[in-house]
Structure 1
Amino acid sequence: MEKRLTTTAMLFSLGFVFMLVFAVGAFFYGIQIGTEKAEAKYTAKSEAGKKSEDTAPYQQQELVSFYLTVFSPYREFQAEWLTVSDKLLRGGNLDAGSAFKNLAKLADQKAEEASSFNMQKSPLLGEAQVAYIRSLKYFKDTAAKAAADKTNDPAKLLEHIKSDKNYKSAVGESLAAQQAYYDAMQKWAASVDPAIPAAYKAATPMSVDQWDKLSLIVKNRVAVSHLSERGELFGFMPQDLTSRVDEFIRSGQASKMKLNTVGGIVDILLNTRAVDAGDFSANKARFYQSETLPQLPFFYSE
């Protein structure tokens, strides 16, 4: 004989089923919420760690070590490269094949020197080191190709070099390295002088008044940006350009020529080749006696 469930038993059974479904749903919902919270917490920690790394102050010794082990070897090569390029430009007496063979060997040697000390613990300096080494390797390839070029016309040979993709990459890497190095200097300056920002986004265009309110270390970073935009190699340093801009403004030349933007002044100075290596040293006593600078040779050479 079949037993029929009473109304109370049926209600009890249905209630139990609903409670079971609700409990399972709540369990999985709880897992989802917990997972999302854990992921959010991990992401926040990761971003905080990255932010801490990006804004970490740089020690002066790190900047000096980079100067001695990476920057100096690169600059020694660049000086030789610019000397040979200048002779080609002027059409002077030059055995181009021999000169570029020597430059290829020198680039390889200086790349090894720049690799001898590990700067990777300092993110910006590590970035600059890698870029300078890449630049030297691209210069090596460019020089090897130029050495095999049978062009007898110095002007045409120089044109071939400057249109070569390896040369363009070499210049681009050099400018990227310079930018990272000067970024590291600014972060160091910010750690010793609260008035200096660890990073600075320049106004475009930047007015003369805005420029005048900046500290030297930030002006140098702005100068680096202008040089990067030009995509050229120059024998002078960014601080040489900075000092010429300041001199141009303070002498009244900018006002006379109605130049109200830093970009306009930079264009005039670079287009007329009015910036030379050593301009910063010549103006340092007049303009920058109280400025915060790391103890790097190119800021203190006389």
Structure 2
Amino acid sequence: MNTKKEVTVIGLGPMGFVLARTLLDDGYKVTVWNRSVEKATALVADGAVLAADPAAAVLASPVIVTCLNNYETTHNILADTALKDRLLLELTTGTPQDARTAETWVRALGAHYLDGALLATPRQIGKPDTPIFLSGDMVAYEKGETVLKVLGGHLMYMGAAAGAAAAWDLAILSSLFGLITGFLQGARIFESEKLDVNALGDMINNIAPVLGEMVRHEGAVISTGNFGLPESSLKTCAVSIALMVKQAAESGIPGEVPGFILQLMNKGIKAGYGEEQLGALIKVMR
């Protein structure tokens, strides 16, 4: 656990700036570095220390927080710095392989590595319910926990595998963007019928627990491999999607979204999964 209230933040984009600001407001001595020095001006005016270069930024604190464009940028910036015995807390978005590669590199330097994924927008940083996925060595987690609790109150340690946090992050984002893309198609259906799109958003919010239970059920189906005895089979679900394709053609709105889903479902039906659970589509995707 980091008992010294000293931390370095490297990368002052929209998220990195807020991370530094939140730590500064909590009483930390915050050292910052960014390629564009002007992005640090407001933070320095409020007490942050601007490091002359990445090497100085690393030497200033036991915990180094990076929030950059990608993992390669982190490596390039910190390649010639003295990371030994420090904790690198990587809050850059990446893939599980990015995290594994970074952990190998950091450990070879004699430093600790913790990978993190912020499930939040900048305005949500620092709130007690802000979720952060974390993965890596437990010792690294314990060293970074105090700093992390300032950034988000809902810390979720996903295990020692460095790539776990990124995997969770991408899987959640896939689910989210899939939902939003479907919602956008629904919004066009509403617009084509001159209905209030805001009402659709409110309704989805109201029935969110029901939708969540449907997703949870399919997760259990896939985990157990028990695709039989469906309440609503893949074939039945495909009928609903076909109606969306039909409605799009009739109303003149784009039909790519339901068209793609129907194509995937038809592959499952052709493969013999039509009378199984909707989750049987995973067998097509495998």
TM-score by length of 2: 0.30
Larger Rg: 1
Q: Higher strand share goes to which structure?
A: 2
Bigger relative contact order (CA 8 A; separation at least 6): 1
Q: Higher helix share goes to which structure?
A: 1
TM-score by length of 1: 0.29
